[in-house]
Amino acid sequence: VIVDADTGKVIAIQPPQSRLDRRALRRETRLRELGRAPEGDDRYYLDDPEDMARFRRKQLEEEGRVIPPPADEYDPYGDNSVEAYPPAPQDDGGYDNNYPDAPQPAKPGTIKRQPLDEASIDPAQPESPTEQTLPADQAALPPKVGDETTVAPALSLGARQDVAALQVLLDRGGASPGVIDGRFGSNVDKALAAYNQITGSNLRSTDAVGIQSALAQSGGDAFANYTITPEDAAGPYVASIPEDYSQKAQLDRMGYTSVTEALAERFHMDENYLKALNPDVNFNRPGTIIKVANFGRLVSTPVARIVADKDKKEVFAYDAGGRLVAAYPATIGSSDTPSPSGTHTVSRVALDPNYTYNPSINFKQGQNDKVLTIPPGPNGPVGSVWIALDKPTYGIHGTPDPSKIGKTESHGCVRLTNWDSRELAKLVSPGVTVEFVGGPSADDFAQQ
């Protein structure tokens, strides 16, 4: 709508101009001021390729990227492309032969819109390597691998197959990344640093070739097939785990709540990642073949010294010669219930322990003010392992929430995943030293 500036009346209505129209109009006005505007109709028609080529040449000229011919020889409507643009090669229309893989310029022609396939957020079905079935008595061992490699890279919720493969490699080397979930994070960063120290290598997370080579040398493919057994499907499982400790104490066992939870822990995986890796799979049906992490065999070197680093949120295990043999992400105390300081020793090791809740010497949970005995099981407060220290009420133990290790707080103890704590429990014995370094300690708070 064009309005008279003096009277305020509408004097004309024209179709709206695009940004390119307005830019062309400004350039034409400038050329007219310089006395170089063509006679007659000097507009550019956006649907005319020749007009747009002429407009582009003038644009380059104004930007100083093209030297115009002398004014007396310049024809605004003429073909100045020879001076403005050198002739293209006539052999094949491509780039210099020194760059055979360089992308070729598009050929001129009509551009047509093509419909795009609608992307799906569902995880991709993994490729099917040679099927392997593990007997029930080998459930604690890593799965056997097939003849082909890995799984399809497109998994939902941002999980990446190449990251999961790196996590499997780190786990094989004794540097636990916590749950294998196909995601980068602080636990992976810490595990990679520990892996390089344990192996003496200099592996980087971006070194895809090096990661694949190390996988091949340490046990093969990062993933393998596993056949769900009748024992897997049968459980027993509990319907749910209550939050309140008094309700926990009424259960017979703090067991797994599903087949997927049990299998995820067995293969060191995040439960949601296991489901994403196996979409549309009935985990409750014996004989079902699923993809699982091929995490390798457990560390077997005896541990003589443990360091619990509060700042790094990591536990380091050393052999008698002072060599690092294992590292685990950990949750170590909190500001409200800090962990001990100094050096302590392992007093005993208990697998699948009960948990005694005593609010008078520990923390208070909910409205529970009486001593409670919570039955054993992987979903208990201390998971499936208790490595007691010589300092009463403190120890290294498992967890019912493996995906939260290194990301939340504990009630003063050292919390690992159930599988990491079980591995460590088999490597230590009474008398092994546990040194707490960094961060606040319970002794610091006791002195305040």
Do residues 279 and 403 touch, judged by C-beta distance below 8 A?
Answer: no
Do residues 298 and 423 touch, judged by C-beta distance below 8 A?
Answer: yes
- Report which of 275, 290, 272, 277 is spatially closest to residue 232, judged by C-alpha positions: 290
**Predicted confidence (pLDDT) per residue in 415-433, tens digit:** 999 999 999 999 999 999 9
d(CA 208, CA 426): 33
Instruction: Report domain extents, the chain.
Output: 2-84, 136-293, 305-446
**Predicted confidence (pLDDT) per residue in 168-180, tens digit:** 999 999 999 999 9
Burial grade of 176 (CB within 10 A; 0-12, 13-18, 19 or more): buried
- Report which of 372, 368, 369, 334 is spatially closest to residue 355, judged by C-alpha positions: 372
Q: How far separated are the first and last CA of the chain, in Å rounded?
A: 76
Percentage with pLDDT > 70 across the chain: 64
Contacts of 60 (CB under 8 A, 6+ apart): 66, 84
7, HSE (Cβ side, Cα atoms, 13 Å): 6
Give me the numbers of helices (H) and strands (E) for the chain, helices first please.
12, 15
- Dihedral sign, Cα of residue 292, residue 294, residue 299, residue 300: positive
The ranges of the chain with pLDDT < 70 are 1, 3, 10-52, 63-157, 334-337, 408-412, 440-448
The pLDDT value recorded for residue 339 is: 80
The pLDDT value recorded for residue 139 is: 39
CATH of span 305-446: 2.40.440.10
The pLDDT value recorded for residue 314 is: 97
- Report which of 170, 165, 240 is spatially closest to residue 209, judged by C-alpha positions: 165
- Dihedral sign, Cα of residue 82, residue 87, residue 88, residue 90: positive
Residue 362 vs residues 25, 344, 394, 405: alpha-carbon distances, Å: 79, 19, 10, 21
Contacts of 272 (CB under 8 A, 6+ apart): 157, 181
Pairing between β-strand 305-309 and β-strand 314-318 as defined by DSSP bridges: antiparallel
Do residues 422 and 328 touch, judged by C-beta distance below 8 A?
Answer: no
Do residues 329 and 313 touch, judged by C-beta distance below 8 A?
Answer: yes
d(CA 419, CA 434): 19
The structure's pTM equals 0.65
Burial grade of 11 (CB within 10 A; 0-12, 13-18, 19 or more): exposed
The pLDDT value recorded for residue 184 is: 95
d(CA 261, CA 20): 59
